[in-house]
Structure 1
Amino acid sequence: MSDLLVVDHLSRRFTNAGLFQKRQVFHAVSDVSFTLARGQIVGVVGESGCGKSTLARLVLRLIQSSEGSVQFDGLDMATLSRRDLRRLRQRMQLVFQDPYSAIDPRYRVRDALLEPFKVQGIKLKSADATVASLLEMVGLNPTLTNSYPHQLSGGQKQRIGIARALALNPSLVVLDEPTASLDVSVQAQIIALLNRLRESLGLTYLFISHDLGLVRYFCDKILVMYLGRIVEIMPSDALPAHPYTRALLDSTFEPDPRQRRTITRLSGEIPSGYNPPAGCAFAARCPRVSDLCRSSLPSLEVITSHHQAACHHPLLEDMATGVAQRAHPHEIAVP
């Protein structure tokens, strides 16, 4: 299985300066590297503000990186001209978190679905047939063609967003928390739809979420982010080696009372991205912290096959005594 996406030492810093304000640099994403194979689903999980959405926009080159590179299907995106980048965008699309603001309220469903073709300058033989086909693909009735967004439910709007993202037959779809604003039952329906579309269309997903339970069910590989850095890369059915990932897993809902875990409560403050610590960013909240953690930044080290963690004191004893299980579809943890 070849790699469709290769992210190498990617970083992004934002500068905050005003006329009477001291210049400050915010480290949104720092030294992130990972690969995404064709047909794979890679999840990016972490608390709000950890850099997940910024990473998604860097991958799509919606914003420029400060350092590092992104290669899509062997092409370095930083070297592409605006014309070549526009053409490449047909193969990589984004599904937004909020379906209520993702569609122009002045657009009918037909207009929203035809917008990608207009942007790319693609002429259609039969626009009505294309719109009907896209609606049927995401499980919607073609009679919704002339409806406005305010006449649709949240789940229907999110399906429209997915249909619009798939209109140009992309290879990569970045899903930025596509179920976060939906009801529990609708979340499960959207996840089932995304699974079906991946299998039928051969799609590759980068799935952004703050819900580790959902990510473990839906994804093949998980990237755990904390304060702009990847602290763990793990298979979805593995037990975590990093204390932060362990805390995220313990906080997910487990429907079987026999399988419920003791919640690991984190104390301490999350460091500021304007002044990240010299050592491990999680040191102020970690129950296993040592002087080494406060002074030395841990790098991603191999724990087992396909499993890496950036931790001076990984949870090897927990990994040796248990095996994580994936949830069933009806047991998906929801935010």
Structure 2
Amino acid sequence: MQKRNLGTNGPVVSALGLGAMGMSQGVYGHSERAESIATVHAALDAGVTLIDTGDFYGMGHNEMLLAEALRGRPRDSYQLSVKFGALRGPDHSWGGNDGRPEAVKNFLAYSLNRLGTDYIDIYRPARLDPATPIEETVGAVKEMIDAGFVRHIGLSEVDAATIRRANAVHPIADLQIEYSLISRAVEDEILPTLRELGIGLTAYGVLSRGLISGHWTTARAGADGDFRGMTPRFSAENVDHNLSLVEALRRVAEAKGCTVAQLAIAWVAAQGADIVPLVGARTRERLSEALPALDITLTADDLADIEKAVPLGAARGDRYPTAMMTTLGAGN
């Protein structure tokens, strides 16, 4: 497994990370507990060390699932990246974000207990709390670093100005943000800011929630509880156009001797050694497909062919429902 450093001050992690959200709460459809645990085991056995979760994924379910999957593994053999702050109701509703210092410490206490660990490697607010200055939130995490409960501070879905303010309080290891062939808004201002400050990027949504995986079809739309049914890029008026981009990408992948998903992941990884793609695999089959992407070398001609197949800004529809777009640090 290749390794990459998350920024100047962050940890050395596997060049591909495992995103665990889809293993809980059915956000992308049904998941099998046994298969989820087997997938975590397969990822660790393949050398994946970075595992990403959130305390609000399944209202704690995801953390407890990971605790079970990680039991018996040496603690220094993997790194836990945990998002906090998103408020949930018992009906699975969303109630905003809480970044107050006292809330940070409360969230952390519960996560440590659910995960069955003494520390978290990278702790990050899931979204910006508009009522709490980022300096106060980061300052509270810094106190937890000083106390030994956290190793590094990360951010998620914030803009360049917020990154600078946070980094002035304590060095930030990485920013977690959506980045894919059809979600490239980070390239304008956020990515240059990260590189100026020596901050890494963990890219989620590298397959755009399966849309550009090469496996999505319109027949899968509308599954009960699947978040994608509310997402503009998957809507009836946009999905056919977006899938036409995937078919153009498929021709490039076939010429390269790889799958569409592998090419899309390899493209993100090729955007810089400071970028670590997160793959939200729920099954060993999807994980097995993703892992070889790290071995694909993209030439200048390959990159040009990919750009021609999926031009910048070619996708239709926002990456989140309209109401959620206001909480994001970058646009599409």
Global fold match (TM > 0.5): no
Structure whose alpha-carbon radius of gyration is higher: 1
Q: Which has the higher helix share?
A: 2
Q: State the TM-score, normalized to the length of structure 2.
A: 0.37
Q: Which has the higher strand share?
A: 1
Q: State the TM-score, normalized to the length of structure 1.
A: 0.37
